[in-house]
Structure 1
């Protein structure tokens, strides 16, 4: 018992120290970066407020959500706080400005996060289609994967093609160098990541797993995750030189050996430092590598930071 308590006290000190390190860095360097003061006129249609003929796919800083469809996962006040990473519906996330969705499914087609389940994936697809019907120039990256430990939903690729066919941008390396204006009226890059089924092939309407990469570090230590994200980003090529999307997730996650297991208080250790990460990327020479930037519990400030940096790229400020 004494050993357990000692270990927990050590962990709490480590978390406190790491939170202070990030706060001190923020106070020392502030969070100003090219485009940081940009305020979009309309987040729901933010791509259309920029110069679509200059907005290249590979230069967009895509605001994304981590475990996007968890707003109603589990049982309220019982299991939900341990798995919910977003409080908004998929539709509301898109209206706020989210453009990359991370959806996990199990064999029966329900959205899941580990062993906890939520609504059927139809809810996600219907929200996406509703948003697309209300906008004209917004491109979405829809990543759908079979959750670890689960079997693939049967014929799920055909389901996605049937549901989103008219909007799907086909898998093609040339897409990265195209502008949004050149892709329209197609508007969805759908990355399907099955665990056992065959991956989508080149030229198909769905994109394979290799086109959306990240380096996930499972930790609840904020400065550790911050620096891990920075290290892995530094190892990437500039966005103009690669033919895949690379995602950085501004998140930390509860750990089984720590008494704080609810997602929100844990992930809030790093959430306030999204702009600091962008600033540090630029200061350390990696500003041309940031592309998909995701978070838990997305908010307007996070979206605005991504849009501002995107606009700065269009204007040649970075």
Structure 2
């Protein structure tokens, strides 16, 4: 009996055929999309108002832009995706599948990050999917350490219960005990205020529980409606790039909306693709942050860009956001 005479489920080569075919197809799609991004960059460049600006002190870049002249709604906030994953899981075993940042929260803030994306579960551990890491207290200690070393830096701290997980009990009380004097209370007027008008308060804390009621208006925490995004789960970089532009163009300009809107310059591993390590996948789009900002100007939606986040944040990404922020307050963008 020859191989073709066997039923498909008995013959490994035949059974694996459709799977291999699909994976090859997916790899071709990735290669094609990376070429599209390279072509877009080559043909259009990455210039935009402020693109040549590099802050002398990233740790204090908001202070360097003059807090009295820097409205909250004109800031382009550099953010990190799955911020507290630098030590997640087991090194070289589960970590590559869940780690989105290699720096600690404190190190990210010193580098210039101003928006943190933290996922928690019922025991107060930070997590990414099913994989956990240190407790939320480590995050808060790093935030407080950074703020104690600076005078005018504002941090947006988004904390949410991870999908499929339960809320930590009495979590609002815990946050209030740890951040109370630093918290900027929920208020639509905050968007039009300058940093100087908000100080000495330093933290906009957005708390997104999964089971508990939404936080109350006017309180110390901001509800989920104040930080929005349009996440699509894809590992295809040009698809994500175009999706980010499409959804951003549908938002109101930053000066006329009362919520923060986030664009994430990331792509994520997919089970139907043979490469599932976060860094290898997200690198497909990682270097195109400046191209995205440039394309925002080309498509007349740069006045909508506000929070811009990334995996494995670096100095160039921070500089790209700070440069555009400076151009805005100087009336050049």
Counterpart position of 1:64: 79
**Runs of 4+ that moved beyond 6 A:** none
Matching of residue 145 in structure 1 with residue 164 in structure 2:
no
Which of 192, 195, 202 in structure 1 is aligned with 2:217?
A: 202
CA distance in 1 between partners of 2:67 and 2:134 (Å): 35
Structure 1: 5+ residue runs without aligned partners? none
Which of 253, 265, 270 in structure 1 is aligned with 2:285?
A: 270
Q: TM-score, normalised by structure 2?
A: 0.95
Counterpart position of 2:198: 183
Shift of 1:180: 0.4
Counterpart position of 1:29: 44
State the number of aligned residues: 318
> In structure 1, the residue corresponding to 2:185 is in which secondary structure?
coil
> In structure 1, the residue corresponding to 2:287 is in which secondary structure?
helix
Matching of residue 105 in structure 1 with residue 120 in structure 2:
yes
Matches within 5 A, 1:32-111: 32-111=47-126
Shift of 1:118: 0.1
CA distance in 1 between partners of 2:123 and 2:255 (Å): 39
Q: TM-score, normalised by structure 1?
A: 0.99
Counterpart position of 1:284: 299
Matching of residue 14 in structure 1 with residue 14 in structure 2:
no
Shift of 1:5: 1.5
Shift of 1:72: 0.4
CA distance in 2 between partners of 1:41 and 1:267 (Å): 28
Counterpart position of 1:126: 141
Q: C-alpha offsets along residues 189-212 of structure 1, whole Å, 9 cap, x if unaligned?
A: 000000111211111011101000
CA distance in 2 between partners of 1:149 and 1:8 (Å): 28
Shift of 1:51: 2.1
CA distance in 1 between partners of 2:225 and 2:173 (Å): 20
Q: Which stretch of structure 1 is more off in the superposition, 51-60 or 308-317?
A: 51-60
Q: C-alpha offsets along residues 93-130 of structure 1, whole Å, 9 cap, x if unaligned?
A: 00000000000000000000010000011000000000
CA distance in 2 between partners of 1:185 and 1:137 (Å): 8
Shift of 1:21: 0.3
CA distance in 2 between partners of 1:152 and 1:24 (Å): 45
Shift of 1:53: 1.4
Q: C-alpha offsets along residues 286-305 of structure 1, whole Å, 9 cap, x if unaligned?
A: 01000000000000000000
Q: C-alpha offsets along residues 127-183 of structure 1, whole Å, 9 cap, x if unaligned?
A: 000001000000000000000111100010011111001110000000000000100
> In structure 1, the residue corresponding to 2:133 is in which secondary structure?
strand
Counterpart position of 2:271: 256
> In structure 2, the residue corresponding to 1:270 is in which secondary structure?
helix
Counterpart position of 1:3: 18
Shift of 1:52: 1.3
> In structure 1, the residue corresponding to 2:221 is in which secondary structure?
coil
Q: Over aligned residues, Cα RMSD in angstroms?
A: 0.5
CA distance in 2 between partners of 1:287 and 1:96 (Å): 24
Matching of residue 314 in structure 1 with residue 309 in structure 2:
no
Counterpart position of 1:156: 171
Shift of 1:188: 0.3
> In structure 2, the residue corresponding to 1:53 is in which secondary structure?
helix
Counterpart position of 2:12: none
> In structure 1, the residue corresponding to 2:160 is in which secondary structure?
strand
